[in-house]
Amino acid sequence: MCGITGWIDWTMDISNQKDILKNMTDSIQHRGPDAEGFWFSKHAALGHRRLIVIDPEGGLQPMLYKDDHATIALTFNGEIYNYQELRIELEKKGHIFQTKSDTEVLLHAYVEWEEDCVQHLNGIFAFGIWDERRQRLMLGRDHLGVKPLFYAQRGTSILFGSELKVLLAHPSVKAEVDTDGLAELFCLGPVRTPGHAIFKGIHEVRGGHYVLFTSNKAETKQYWKLNSKTHTDDIHTTVETIRSILQDTVQRQLIADRPVVSMLSGGLDSSGLTGLAGNEFKKNKETLHTYSLTFTNEERDFKEDFLRRDRDEPWVKRVVEHVGTKHHSIELGAEKLVENLLIPMRARDLPGVGELETSLYLLFKEMKKDATVALSGESADEVFSGYPWFHQEEFLQAEMFPWGVNSSYITDILSEDLQVKISPFHYQKQRFQEAVREIPFLDGENDVQMKQRQMSYMFITRFLPFMLERKDRTSMMTGFEVRVPFCDYRLVEYLWNVPFEIKSIDNIEKGILRRAFQTVLPDDVCYRKKSAYPSTKDTTYLQGIREWMQHVLNDDTSPILSLINIERVRAIAEGTDEIITDDESKGLIEYLLQINSWLQEYQIQLV
């Protein structure tokens, strides 16, 4: 895992612009604390920050391929999980390799297949390839968009990088946000429109896409998408197919030259992966290390809610005993969560979801002390249709994103000027309808089946990118790599066409996955009801952010004041609002605090 940067200009000689490229690359040093690298030609400058995971000596970047005609240069972030098979295939075609790295395999894959190389890859990746022969830049991103990739065009230059801060470090890119960006920020929150980067004139390469740039045009192509067809496998075959893909995926994702550990919440997803990984470790007479998150006084403070049925820790212990892992429980207090609230915002260069990201960042910070790579159960709920919303009529029939159904109060906290400017309900509806038009519905499905497919599409293409962004930024901020086996595109393709009644077999969410994991988990863990990522219930935390919000409201220089209904937000911060509950107010206050600090720290210009 690494960080990448690049600057291409077809009309200007940028070969002596090392200071600017170094500033861009240094901005993401956290993504690659182990090494840096630069490469320059007359019209191209590539930078790289490296986190060593595979082939410490041979994976140096930017990596070059040279022949009699020209040079091809690559800067790459991610892992190619099928690189060993690809290497064998390429060697049969006459390619000669100098290293054992997946980076060199990707470079030779481009030499062999050019832009079609992405059709041969299984992995999580974001890369930039400058082809001197064609004077062409290719930016490519993995199928689901696990690894980030942003770009901007300024004059005759194309700038790209792993994070927004890379582009903002270039003198031609200003931190400007227009009406469209404000609408994304306040109408959709952190679950933004794919490809939209909030900042004016900055774009994100969507998952499953690549972009080709030449001196006179930019061409975006989708190389992977969900295709609908009738699912013909019986229940037994479906279970065995899921189990087989997951076993293969976990085996591939355990390959590393650095220690690999596993996240473990005691829920189905992380527990199943821990079971599969634990078995692989036992084959080598090794013990898998696992990590969980808990909060100070959690046993005293825990309250069941819509998304969290019970505490994780008892279930974590059950899995640890069954699989035989060496476990580490990381405990966080409310004060630590308040103190670090803004770090995830700085990691993603955009406001996020507060404590749910802060705790993840602090967890990864602790895990980094012992390891470099971890497995995570992220995305199982999206691809297996595991969220409660999938079987509730109110959400299935809503003509809006399901996670926004109960957030209509957002409009009430905006200033009248901003409401007029961004038209919240119209913007939300517009973006929802755009997403609906993309869906490959299947002929012959009834209304309920169509709505379930629609919701599945929304979660895979809209909600999942937000979750993956959260995981990438909070982990890479600590120089830590997190792998997500449930994002293997083969699994996602297969499950897309598995009917909801099969996914929820045995009358329980993700019933088909529970059956697949019965070979590695005890039944009580397999059939534990879903409980979401943990959140602190300590009232000290809520009180801390409420006081912080009141301080912002009382400071005339706070940039957010012109954007909000000050008195309404004051009532929420004081806990006297009659509509918004404590749980709702926590997420709202966190988000507003981050927006205010983001406007200040990034010196955002509203245009």
How many Cα neighbours within 13 Å face the side chain of 375?
Answer: 31
DSSP state of 80: E
Q: Is position 377 annotated in a ligand binding site?
A: yes
DSSP state of 110: H
Q: Which of 228, 229, 223, 279 is nearest to 250 (CA)?
A: 279
SS3 content of the chain, % helix, strand, coil (to 5): 45, 15, 35
> How far is C-alpha 285 from the chain's CA centre?
33
Q: Which run of H or E residues covers position 152?
A: strand 150-154
| 117 classed as catalytic | no
Residue 229, number of CB atoms within 10 A of its CB: 9
**DSSP for 314-373, written as a single string:** HHHHHHHHHHT-EEEEEEE-HHHHHHTTTHHHHHHTS---THHHHHHHHHHHHHTTT-SE
**DSSP for 495-528, written as a single string:** HHTS-HHHHTGGGSTTHHHHHHGGGTS-HHHHTP
Q: Which of 299, 328, 322 is nearest to 534 (CA)?
A: 299
CA angle at 179 for the pair 545 and 437, rounded to the nearest 5°: 100
Strand partners, 45: 7, 40
Q: Is position 376 annotated in a ligand binding site?
A: yes
Q: Are strands 218-222 and 209-213 parallel, antiparallel or unpaired?
A: antiparallel
Q: Which of 581, 591, 582 is nearest to 552 (CA)?
A: 591
Strand, coil or helix: 92: helix
Task: List, by residue number, the catalytic residues.
Answer: 2
Q: Which residues are annotated as a binding site for L-glutamine?
A: 102
